Amino acid sequence: MTAFSLNPEQTARCAQLRELAAERLRPLVEAHAKGEEGGVNRPLTEALGELGLLEGLFTSGALDLCLMRESLARVCTEAETALALQGLGAHPVHAYGSLEQREHWLPPTRAGRAIAAFALSEPGAGSDAAALALRAEPDGSAGWRLTGEKSWISNAPEADFYTVFARTSPDAGARGVTAFLVPADRAGLTGAPLDMLSPHPIGTLAFDGVRVFAADVLGDVDHGFRVAMTTLNRFRPSVGAFAVGMAQAALDAALAHTADRDAFGGKLKDLQAVSHQVAEMATRTEAARLLVYAAAAAYDRGEPDIAGRAAMAKLFATETAQFVVDTAVQLHGARALQRGHLLEHLYREVRAPRIYEGASEVQRAVIAKELYSKEPIA
């Protein structure tokens, strides 16, 4: 199989996932929206576990992960996001955790009973992850005490455990960061929700001398930046897949609306200005999809330039999704901005992926760095 085509089994799996999302997952989202509890939709996450989708986070290759996220996003963005956040928070445990850490935390995470979170960003360290200020101060021979804050953390403050990145060596930049697995009930750890334009909970975390030990370290001391970057490199192409799924949903809506809507003695699609816009939406969506698939396939093959390719995939796909959703709203007119309309939902949802897991500007910096690091062509 090339990076640019899917085999019949993969195509059938994507169709099955869309059907599951419509029949099993979207009703749980609608039921949750009618309640007053807000926050993490635990029944939805448990359903993802029951359907075996959370298991796929740890057993699938990067391309299969992209197909899963794209398929879910096309039908139920909330289910896609719940799945992705479990993967982002727990992948460091899967890839770098000790046997004891993996045996304790991964089974309930796969089942959807334990909610995971990835705690990297801070009030003063968003895009510049190497500038982390959360301190891990030595606490005798027993370990460290964490002091500081995290902000804009998805699933906070309701997660059951956090992958936390803290500075163990002052003034060492990226080389002085360590990753810790911190249970939510650890003394001194508190959090608060943020009121944000987001369909899933985002919050802050405060660490007031939270004790962590050698058994809580993920990977090696002072090598946590590698844990963060390898996790992000794995998930960045699939953020692009999430964006492609949203773009495809918006394109589907635009095709249906313009084919049905009466305008100027014909259908809206008969206007060249409209049909050309739809053609542009479709072309960009397909280009983004192929770039995402190619980056994911390169990751699965273990190619050396994955950082640049993952950055290209995330950059182009998220920017494309913003364009496609915005254009679909324009073609629909005022009805698309009514609360509850699919495009109103997508319009709110599509903005954040251009920021999280590395803003578009950061992706461009990564791409440029990779390009200039290569040997010049003679």
pLDDT digits (tens, 9 = 90+) for 166-192: 999 988 878 899 999 999 999 999 999
Plot region of 339 (φ>0 → left; ψ -120 to 50 → alpha; else → beta):
beta
Domains of the chain: 8-111 (1.10.540.10), 116-222 (2.40.110.10), 226-373 (1.20.140.10)
pLDDT digits (tens, 9 = 90+) for 125-161: 776 767 889 999 999 777 999 999 999 999 999 999 9
pLDDT at res. 129: 67
> Is position 103 annotated as part of the catalytic site?
no
What proportion of the chain, given as a percentage, has pLDDT over 70? 96
**59 to each of 54, 56, 95, 120, 185, how far by Cα in Å?**
9, 5, 12, 24, 29
Plot region of 20 (φ>0 → left; ψ -120 to 50 → alpha; else → beta):
alpha
Q: Which of 80, 122, 349, 357 is catalytic?
A: 357
Which parts of the chain have pLDDT scores under 50?
Answer: 1-3
pLDDT at res. 1: 37
pLDDT at res. 37: 53
pLDDT digits (tens, 9 = 90+) for 251-290: 999 999 999 999 999 999 999 999 999 999 999 999 999 9
SS (H, E, C) 207-222: EEEEEEEHHHEECCCC
Where does the chain have alpha helices with state H? Answer: 8-20, 26-34, 42-50, 53-59, 62-75, 77-96, 99-111, 224-260, 272-301, 306-332, 342-349, 360-373
pLDDT at res. 278: 98
DSSP string for residues in 357-370: TS-HHHHHHHHHHH
